[in-house]
Amino acid sequence: MIELYVSCLITFFVVIDPPGCAPIYAGLTAGATPTHARAMAVRAVLVSAAILLVFALFGEDLLHALGITLPSFRIAGGIMLFLIALEMVFEKRTQRREDRAAQVAAEEVEDVSIFPMAMPMIAGPGSIASVMLLMGRAHGMEESLVVLGALATILLVMLGALLLARPLMRVLGAKIEAVITRLLGVLLAALAVQFVIDGLRVSLT
């Protein structure tokens, strides 16, 4: 059971990628208050946990019933992430925040907990496919609980990474943060394109 737990832990860590998501989250929530940012982090992890649990238990039956394939998830998720990446690179999100602040001074920062953090960044095509595959390979209730336990561990790691992301970025300073945000936007765009390519490759083969 320990081998299964470690194997699932490594798989979920690589696919969900808490260290990669945390700086992106910090960039997306740069204008939020600490309380709002913490609330969005908790909400993002809880919503993604619920999504992954549903797919872990009922994923294959649900997709089959709806006539949806996993490559479709990859393509759709890639397109959505690419649009977010463009906003990060060209600072359109920052400009939009400033415009809104000028109109309504007390308006809250846009909530990114559901989209894009919970879905598709945390509970994305890769993590959905991984949890469905690992649950499909599990034999019996005990192994299924081990898989779910590994998933819960990584989601707790993700929560910690999101909560620590903004303080770390704040220590680095605004200019360095802007450079990092743009760089991460480019990397996110590349990841988004890779999602689309992977989805198309599987669909066409």
Q: How far apart are CA 73 and CA 70, in angstroms?
A: 5
Q: How far apart are CA 82 and CA 189, in angstroms?
A: 5
Q: What's the confidence (pLDDT) of residue 157?
A: 95
Q: How far apart are CA 172 and CA 187, in angstroms?
A: 19
Structure tokens at 89: 């690179």
Structure tokens at 62: 């649900």
Residue 144 · residue 1 · CB < 8 Å: no
pLDDT in tens, the chain (205 residues): 899 999 899 889 878 888 878 888 888 887 788 899 999 999 999 999 999 999 999 987 887 788 877 788 778 778 877 887 787 777 665 455 445 434 433 445 578 899 889 998 899 877 888 898 788 778 889 999 999 999 999 999 999 999 998 887 767 665 666 676 677 778 778 878 887 888 888 888 7
Residue 182 · residue 88 · CB < 8 Å: yes
Q: What's the confidence (pLDDT) of residue 173?
A: 63
**Domains contained in the chain, number:** 1
Q: How far apart are CA 196 and CA 184, in angstroms?
A: 18
Could you tell me which residues come within 8 angstroms of residue 135 by beta carbon, excluding any fewer than 6 positions away?
Answer: 56, 57, 59, 144, 147
Q: What's the confidence (pLDDT) of residue 155?
A: 98
Q: Which domain holds residue 194?
A: 2-204
Q: What's the confidence (pLDDT) of residue 102?
A: 42
Residue 200 · residue 75 · CB < 8 Å: yes
